[in-house]
Structure 1
Amino acid sequence: MAELGPVRAEAGELVEVSFTVNGTPATLRLPARVTLSDALRGHLGLTGTHVGCEHGVCGMCTVLVDGEAARACLLFAVQAGGAEITTVEGLGKPGDLHPLQRSFGRNHALQCGFCTPGFLMSSYDLLTTKHGVRPEDLPGELSGVICRCTGYRNIVTAVREVQAEFPDGIPAPGNRATPAAPEPEAAGPVATDIVLPGGAPTIAVEISTGVAVEADRVWTVLDDIHLLARCLPGAELTGDLGGDTYAGRARVSVGPVKLAFQGIARILDHDRASGRMRVLAQGRDTGGAQTQADIVLRTEGAGGTTVLHADAKVYLTGRIAQFGRALAGDISRRMFEQFAAAVAEAASSGHAVPVKPPSALKLMAGTLLRRIRDTLRWGRRRR
């Protein structure tokens, strides 16, 4: 793990940190006081690392840092710069589980599952560094992780079984990306192709909202890609790839589903005179979720106000596709409302404050209120 130099970060200032997670390089920009557990869960979508006490007592957040067990809630993400990190997602694949995972399932050592990631990573560390530990010492050696269901007997049995199966050391984690062999020639430019899937989109939405700002002032924001990016909820522009193509990051969080995408966007049409802008975008998170979108943004001025229209076709795969169409539509509408409000603020003040994605509670409340209003309208029409 890299040593921190004499660098001072102001409160709220974003610090860039790079490390390797389950064999995949990752670079994040986040406040210096964000813990490694929050970075893994909230920024990389690796929610298998559980958070219990946040004091380093319960052991739920155990991960491997440079091959050694560490409490992710006690480390700042910036302290892990340059480190090799392995989370429970890297231990085994869905169709090819690690021996520890198979043994936990076989011996009913899962219980509610909340402590399971911590026990898996701690027992892996134990059987790697002390594969000759005596069976009678296993309870004490594993006492650094707390099981809320008091299912210790089955957990110890599962670990003992794997120890007996691999007396000379257990297999390495099996779900880590293998670095590609170096090319004989210098690598080419970053791939910028965006190809939308065929067939119907997962979600198709048409959204309109008004802002109390003249259309010309709205377009001063739409003309400035850096200012525009800061108006997008959870988004961050990270690079200009040329040819009206840009690299960026985006975070989506709805209840237990937390995703952090890295991807590209290309502006195909940008016509202030006709009030039309078209963008293609695609992104992928470390867990394999992928999103692609074809978005047309139009402005319609009316006196001192502007109506923003967005027509979006969105294609989803992976965990993000767990969102139902109705919920995904509600999320899209709420985020567009946030975007429009941020554009209005930027058009008025000349700067934009980064917009956080809507919280799960606000989304649920907004969805419930919208459904109630729709039901009441339907009831009045029936009378």
Structure 2
Amino acid sequence: MSSITHTLQSPRNHIVSGLFLVSLGTYLVTPLYAIHLVNSLGLRAADVGLLLIISSVAQRGLTLPIGIAIDKTDVRVFLFLGLGLRALSFFILGIADSFTLLAIAAAAGGSGAAAFQTAGKSILVEIDADKALSFALRNMAINAGIALGPLVGIFFTSYSFSTICWTTCGVYGLVAVVEMFVLKRLKLRAPVSENGGYLQLFAPLRLPKIRFLLVSNFCFFLFFSLFELIFPLYLVELQSATSVAFMFALNAVLVVFLQLPVARLIANYHLEVAHGFSVLLLSLVFFLLSCISSSPWSLLWFFTGICVFSLAEVYLMFIVDFHLANFVGSKSTGTVFGCSSLSAMLGLSSGLLFFGWLYDRRESLAIADFWLIVLALCLLVVLPVYYLEHRSSRLQRP
């Protein structure tokens, strides 16, 4: 009975449960978002793309200034502010009948996500000594919400888009109230030198290991852009649009179930970042095999590559956060995690631009040559990562 009470009262579990609920609520709306804007409101696809860019830039671009502000004030303020902005964004989305209101909703939603996610991660680092478990549960909660949201949304298909948005708004409001009661008496660290200069918040970046982790994060998201852009396009040519839906579902399930075992392996056996890039390199070999094989081997190699790629995704996303938390400790966590999100945004944007441009050259570039170029680029990343990781570890030990 006492263990059940402890579980229910654990601030970590409340935050993780909140992450699951808001992720679930968000992905009730996400599958219907573009359809509603185009079919119901008459927007062009380009207008929808602009709204997605507004949300993405706000979510990724604001993480650094929000992280700095978190280190200067009470982190809980930004947790509640983020939840409030997200709730407001879905309320506005439910009543929006113009591009201006939709843009306001997108900006509020992206800003709220930046505040809530950065603050939630900073709190988890502070309140739980078992950082490996905290980050694993956090990632599991987010991805479980992403996987289950569209499935739960099936039961809402008979309702209007506005009703679904307002339901999601209510979910965010409920989470905000619960978190407020749970966290209001929680003892957290004092703000970092309230009267000091902002430059001191960037002091951890002087550590070679921190800089190495941020560069590694950039490199990973450079290749993660393949999953968001190239894999679906390639799979449609290989098979059908239905296979794309299966690919995303398979990735979501694997990401959820691999979190805890991968987290324990990294924490207990002191595995390195370079090992994750080696797994990523292996996944690209399977995609190369897919394009040079005939059916049904082509499809088999592709989905084998997706499984290995999902393992690399879990490994690299976890190990970067885990090592950042261990090296920074409880100082400037908001700023450092803000830098981490910024490096992810830059890597993802660079990958989308470069690989998108390269894939469009396939009229003059064979698909096998495309995967060979991607494979060679990954190899050029793996070798320096092995060298830099060992060098940074010698220069700075946690």
Q: Shorter-chain TM-score: what band? A: under 0.3
TM-score under structure 2 length normalisation: 0.22
Highest CA radius of gyration, 1 or 2? 1
> Greater share of helix residues, 1 or 2?
2
* Greater RCO structure (CA 8 Å; 6+ sep): 2
TM-score by length of 1: 0.22
